A and B are shown apart, each in its own frame.
Chain A
Amino acid sequence: MIDIRSLSAGSVPVPADLSIAIYNADSLKQGVQTGIDSYLLLSSELKGTVEQPDFYFSGHPEASLALDNLMLTHGWRRFNWDQVLSPEPFKPQFIPEISYHIVPARVTSSVTKRPVGDIRSYLSVPGKSVRFYNGTSNSDGRVDFYTKGLNGVQPLVLQTNSGDTALYNIDLISVFSDKYSGRGLIPVSLSSLPVNTLLINSINMQALNIYLKERLNQFVESSTDSVPFYGQAKEKYLLDDYTRFPTVEEVLREYVLSVGVRRRNGKPTMQVYTGEVNKGFFEEQPLVLMDGVPMFDRVKFFNYEPLKIKSVEVLPKMYFYGPDVYGGLIRFSIYNGNLDGMELDPDASIIDYEGLQQVREFYSPRYDSPDQLNSRLPDFRNLLFWKPDVETGSDGRTLLSFYTSDRPGTYRGVIQGITNQGQAGKYTFDFKVK
Chain B
Amino acid sequence: MPVTYHLRALICAWLILCGVLTHAQGKQGITFNGKLENAGIDQLAGFLHAATGYRIYYDQTKFDSLRVNLEFSEKNVDWVLSQAFLNTKYRYAIDFQKNVFLTAGDEIVVMNEGKR
A interface with B by C-beta (< 8 Å): 195-196, 199-200, 202-203, 206-207, 210-211, 375-378
Contacts and interface: CB of A to CB of B under 8 A. Distances in A.
5 contacts: A196-B96, A203-B101, A203-B109, A207-B101, A375-B60
A137 to B, nearest CB: 52
Interface stretch (B8-16, B24-32, B51-59, B69-77): B51-59
B13 to A, nearest CB: 35
Given A207-B57, A376-B59, A195 B115 contact: yes
Contacts of A378: 57, 99, 101
Contacts of B99: 203, 378
A376 B58 contact: yes
B97 interface: yes
Given A199-B96, A377-B57, A377-B59, A206 B45 contact: no
Q: Is the interface of A mostly helix, strand, loop or mixed?
A: helix
A211 B57 contact: yes
Given A211-B57, A378-B99, 11 more contacts: A195-B115, A200-B97, A202-B109, A206-B108, A206-B109, A207-B101, A210-B108, A376-B56, A376-B57, A376-B58, A378-B101
A410 B85 CA distance: 37
Interface in B87-104: 95-97, 99, 101, 103
A195 B97 contact: no
A189 to B, nearest CB: 17
B112 A195 contact: yes
Nearest to A205: B108
Closest 8 CB pairs of A and B: A378-B57, A206-B108, A210-B106, A199-B112, A376-B58, A203-B95, A203-B110, A376-B57
Contacts of B96: 196, 199
B45 A376 contact: yes
B2 interface: no
Tier of interface size on chain B: 10 to 19
Contacts of A196: 96, 112
B72 to A, nearest CB: 23
Nearest to B104: A210
Contacts of A199: 95-96, 110, 112
B59 A195 contact: no
A195 B111 CA distance: 11
A378 to B, nearest CB: 4
Interface string B36-74: 000000000100000000001111100000000000000
Contacts of B103: 210-211
Nearest to B97: A200
A373 to B, nearest CB: 13
A211 B62 CA distance: 10
Contacts of B106: 210
Contacts of B60: 375-376
Nearest to A211: B59
B99 to A, nearest CB: 7
A434 to B, nearest CB: 15
A94 to B, nearest CB: 43
A202 B99 CA distance: 14
A210 B97 CA distance: 19
Nearest to A212: B59
Contacts of A376: 45, 56-60
